[in-house]
Structure formats: C-alpha cells, structure tokens
Amino acid sequence: MTQDILTHAEGGVLTVTLNRLDRKNSITSAMYGAMADALQAAEADTALRAVVLQGHETIFSAGNDIGDFLNQPPAGQDSPVFRFLRGIAQFPKPLIAAVCGPAVGVGTTMLFHCDLVFAGDNAAFSMPFVNLGLCPEAASSLLVPQMFGYHRAAEALLLGEPFMAEAALEAGLVNRVLPPTEASNYAQAQARKLAAKPITSLVETKRLMKKHLQGAVLQQMQEEGASFSRMLREPAAREAFTAFMEKRRPDFSKV
C-alpha cells in the first residue's frame, strides 16, 4: 500500500485518505491500484460496513497526476484506474466522501458513485476533460446529465469550469455543506451511524436503488474508457498536455 493512500479501520468503518499534499493529492497509477485494493478488501471484510473517502481540508484531489499519466497511460480495462472505477461503481456497501477544496476531474466524477457526499464550503468541483482534449470518464457522461439535467451537465462538461459547494448541493451531488474543519468528522459520524445498522439491509437497499442503472454505468464506463484511451494519443490531448508541462495556454486552432 503506497503511503500516498492511507487506510484506517475502526468501528466497522474503513477510511481511505488521499495523502499526497505536496502534489495536491494528484492521483498516480499506484494510488489507483491501492484504492482499488482497499475497496476490494473492504467488500470482503465482514467487519467493515462502510467506507469513507477523504483528502485534506484544503484539497480533495487535483485529479490525475499528468506526468505519471503520460508515462503510464491506461493499458486496457485491467489497468489500475479502470480497476478503481469499476470497484467504486460496484462497491456494495455504503460509500461516503468528505470533500474540501478543489476536486478536479476524477476527484469529482468518483463522487457520483458515492452514496453520501459532505463538502466543505471551500469545495470547488470541476470536470475539465474537454479542456485537455479528452472526454468524460467514470460514466460521468451518463450520470452527470441524469443528476444535473442536460443543460447544467453541458455547462459542467463542455465548459469544464469549476462550480462551488452550494451549486453542488443544489444539483444533488452533495448532501450537506460544512466548514472545512468539520466535513471529515461529520462524514465519520454518519459512517458510524451506518455501521451500526444491519449490513444485509444496507447492501440490499443500495442494490435495489442502483440496479436499474448498474449495467448502463458499466457499459458507459467501458465506452468512455475506449474513447479516452484513443483521444489521449490524438493531437488535441498532446497539445493540452504539452502546454500544461510548459506552463502555457494551449492552442487548439490547428487540431
């Protein structure tokens, strides 16, 4: 388990913490693998009844680590990132997120697979895939329009601009907005409430709520993954990532 992902189990709750503050909790292939493994272990462990995902009170995640992503692009559906995305989409037990500060790209899209999301009032969500010459992932092209409505989804996914915690609350992505110093503790308290309930009832209730979309989510995730991998090799993405590494504005006029 990489030290960039910390896990702690107590009172029936597994807490998974993004712990790479020096790089704004940007996620590497190893971190995706560690989170996928943690979810798989939590699913199998009968003592664990809920999982909390969290970052730091100043930042949740800056999304993919660009350098690592370019050096180790996803190589098929068994790559760590796709293992994590399938794992979070199919996780049968309650999944809770505490989100403070920026949540970029997958830092936002993973939240559509959580059952409860509690945000600090400093949270800023964004899905800037188009700005990188890419397409949405984590079945967000299906789940964002479903939750937000088409026009607000188009604003979030086509413009890729940040939206704040209150807007996420209004759209239904967030359950409650709290001071950043309180979000994690509140998520833990809700997780402990869930852990005290019968696990069979929790799992069956979640299954029934999600079953009508489960197949479509996995199919959309696979289609997005194929498009994402293809677009990663195309001129627009190459220009976007080169511009990012060179700290300049990308020029898409010739791609």
Q: What is the pLDDT of residues 206-219, one digit of tens each?
A: 999 999 999 999 99
Determine the 3-state secondary structure of 84 from DSSP. helix
pLDDT higher than 80, residue 114? yes
pLDDT-above-70 percentage for the chain: 100
Q: How many whole angstroms separate alpha carbon 201 and alpha carbon 140?
A: 28
pLDDT higher than 80, residue 2? no
C-beta neighbour count of 89 within 10 angstroms: 20
The crossing angle, in degrees rounded to 10, of helices 235-246 and 199-232 is 100
Q: What is the pLDDT of residue 73?
A: 79
Q: How many whole angstroms separate alpha carbon 34 and alpha carbon 3?
A: 9
**pLDDT category, 255, cuts 50, 70, 90?**
confident
Q: How many whole angstroms separate alpha carbon 154 and alpha carbon 104?
A: 17
Per the structure block, which two tokens stand in for 91?
């996780």
Identity at 154, one-letter amino acid code: A
pLDDT higher than 80, residue 14? yes
Per the structure block, which two tokens stand in for 154?
């188009």
Identity of the highest mean pLDDT range in 1-5, 77-81, 166-170, 223-227 = 166-170
pLDDT-above-90 percentage for the chain: 91
Q: Give the pairing type, strands 116-120 and 176-178.
A: parallel
Q: How many whole angstroms separate alpha carbon 177 and alpha carbon 58?
A: 15
pLDDT higher than 70, residue 224? yes
Per the structure block, which two tokens stand in for 126?
């964004």
Q: Give the pairing type, strands 13-18 and 5-10.
A: antiparallel
Average confidence score pLDDT of the chain: 96
Query: Who contacts 1 (Cβ-Cβ below 8 Å, separation ≥6)?
Result: 7, 34, 37, 38
The least confident of 6-15, 46-55, 242-251 is 242-251
Contact 129, 241 (CB under 8 A): no
C-beta neighbour count of 62 within 10 angstroms: 22
- Report which of 41, 50, 68, 89 is spatially closest to residue 187, judged by C-alpha positions: 50
Q: What is the pLDDT of residue 76?
A: 72
Mean pLDDT score, 35-57:
98
**pLDDT category, 70, cuts 50, 70, 90?**
confident
C-beta neighbour count of 179 within 10 angstroms: 12
Per the structure block, which two tokens stand in for 51?
């999982």
Q: What is the pLDDT of residue 177?
A: 98
